[in-house]
Amino acid sequence: MSNIWDDAGAIPPVLDERKLEIYSRENPDIINAQEPGSGLTPLAKAILAGSVKTVKLLLDSGASPDTKMRDGRTPMYLAADASQNRARFIQLLLAKNPATFDDAGPDFVQNNTPLMAAVKRDDPDAVKLLVERGASKEKKNAAGKTPNDLVNESKPKSDEVKSALAIIPSKGVGGLMTYIKGWVLPVLAFFGLFRPLADIFDAAARAFFGIREDGPLPGEDVSEPSTPEEFKKNLENMVARSPRGGLERFFPPGDPYVQQVAEKAAELKNDPNNLLNSPAQIDALAKLALYQPVLYCGKSSHSTCVNETNIKSGTRVDDSGSMWNEDNGPGTNKGDRWQSQIELSRKITDITTRAVPNHRGCHLRFINRDTPDSNNLDGAAIRQIFNDYGRGTGWTPIGTMLRKHVLDQLVYKDLDSGALIKRPFLVMCITDGFPTQERAMEGTTPGPEDANQNQDADRFRKEVRKCGQLLESKDYKREVVRFSISRIGNITDWEDKAEADKFWDGLRSDDMIQDVLYMTEDILDEKFHAKKDQKELEIWLLTTLLAPMQSLLNY
């Protein structure tokens, strides 16, 4: 059964006025309620999904711009730290006059304010909106730094960010109303063009603050594609508007793979086995097919999994012993995490390759077993390899083996030889715990081992960061390899939970990897088993798979 949180966070959007009315009728307070488990509100889920349409719907329907998440983040903080559409989200929230627009975030984000988050994201439009509203430029975060201190000179828009911070907040709402009364309304009156004032204010605000109209520009994307030509147009638009992803290097004009994906997508609308059959969902499957899926999974005494899609997508699977030795709490059995991972991996493979032509499939990698030839597998082959694997053993050196079993084999081999990388990668990690027995990175002096036998417990984070640096050194965009990390299983031991939270918070607080690492908030197997309806399950998984690619999408 669907719920408001999953619908609010769906990519592409699925929440509409009718469904929202049904949810509100069942529970009048649901629109601001925190989701059991993640602690996120529907508004937060929509912001994290990058959906302007859903955020606007929720705010216009009474969602509070001030209701915090369980972890202490405000909607404005999430908007300022979003992976895309930051300025538009901030604009929509400011229109509802939030009292918390300048509140500091929780400890795990260094008590940064939304303005600080926007500065760290190198987003002058978002900074400008917050400064104009009166956000403090003097507040300090946990490290004693002000927004000006956080400007990163190495980022491309640092000069624009500094200029935005230097603005004296004299415009604000007053300046905007002057702009409307003194320029917008007289021009409209002269030409006899009038619309409702709310629409005029909305359009004027975008012009006044230099914010782009939400949604695609006229003639850009086909909203409901159905023919190969229409799917191809949308794919080419995605490549053209996303230079940060570097897709133009892989899919130049006239690339035959784009045409093949478009043709396969057009066939899906009449495929009775395809439950993701709305035009927007098929369009999303086609865009996902630009990435090469690779499952990177684990089976040791703790766990990990990664998935890649046709960028090259890699899924790292956790084969740690905890996948077998731990249960998921009351009413579950030992080994349930491993079985959940098998079914999740099989389903992920099916969805990521549905619009992929020429029978290309997922690559499969494990933490504790080297499988360099497990490439282009379908769901049945994925399940068979898992079943043949046997009981999980070993530890969880998630970063050490990310380098050895995924990056060395799939990325660095081509970089080092001078060969072209054939597809971009999306690496999805699934972990049930935290790093153990991590080795120090090459060229560094091993430190003393900690209680979990780690020489460097931050190895995973450092490998993600280094991957981007190596790509840029070879004239690729760092976003050519995108990562996603998700959790599986409930940790019942409080000491293990503390270790897992420490690992998670370390990833979340590293500004250098935020553009290439997406962290899901859901416990994957919990969500997986809660979805009894197969279509709802597929919509949720599609959302999870598309989340790392938000900056490339246009929903």
pLDDT band at 391 (very low <50, low <70, confident <90, very high): low
pLDDT band at 323 (very low <50, low <70, confident <90, very high): low
* pLDDT (average), residues 82-104: 93
Largest distance between two CA atoms of the chain: 77
Identity at 225, one-letter amino acid code: P
Helices (H) and strands (E) in the chain, counts: 25, 7
Distance CA 547, CA 82 (A): 11
**Would you state the structure tokens that stand for residue 21, as one six-digit string?**
């009315």
pLDDT digits (tens, 9 = 90+) for 273-297: 999 999 999 999 999 999 988 888 8
The Cβ of residue 552 has, within 10 Å, a number of other Cβ atoms equal to 22
pLDDT at 441 over 60: yes
User: For residues 537 and 531, is the Cβ–Cβ distance under 8 A?
Assistant: yes
> Which residue ranges make up each domain of the chain?
4-165, 172-209, 228-288, 294-549
CA-CA distances (angstroms) from residue 54 to 20, 48, 137, 262, 383? 10, 11, 31, 27, 36
**Would you state the structure tokens that stand for residue 43, as one six-digit string?**
């508004």
CATH superfamily of 4-165: Ankyrin repeat-containing domain (1.25.40.20)
- Give the contacts of 317 (CB within 8 A, at least 6 positions apart): 295, 296, 297, 298, 299, 304, 305, 306, 341, 345, 364, 365, 366, 367, 386, 430
pLDDT at 312 over 50: no
Of residues 338 and 414, which shows the higher confidence score? 414
pLDDT digits (tens, 9 = 90+) for 166-204: 988 754 444 444 444 444 445 545 544 444 444 444 554
What's the CATH fold of domain 294-549?
Answer: Rossmann fold (3.40.50)
* pLDDT (average), residues 114-130: 95
pLDDT band at 336 (very low <50, low <70, confident <90, very high): low
Predicted pLDDT at 455: 95
The region of weakest confidence among 315-319, 351-355, 425-429 is 315-319
pLDDT band at 243 (very low <50, low <70, confident <90, very high): low
pLDDT band at 246 (very low <50, low <70, confident <90, very high): confident
- Which of 272, 261, 211, 201 has its CA nearest to residue 234? 261
pLDDT digits (tens, 9 = 90+) for 457-514: 999 999 999 999 999 999 998 889 999 888 887 777 888 888 988 898 888 878 788 8
- Which of 97, 153, 101 has its CA nearest to residue 131? 101
pLDDT band at 59 (very low <50, low <70, confident <90, very high): very high
Count of positions (residues) in the chain: 555
Q: Do domains 4-165 and 294-549 have the same CATH topology?
A: no
pLDDT at 310 over 70: no
Query: To the nearest whole percent, how much of the chain has pLDDT over 70?
Result: 81
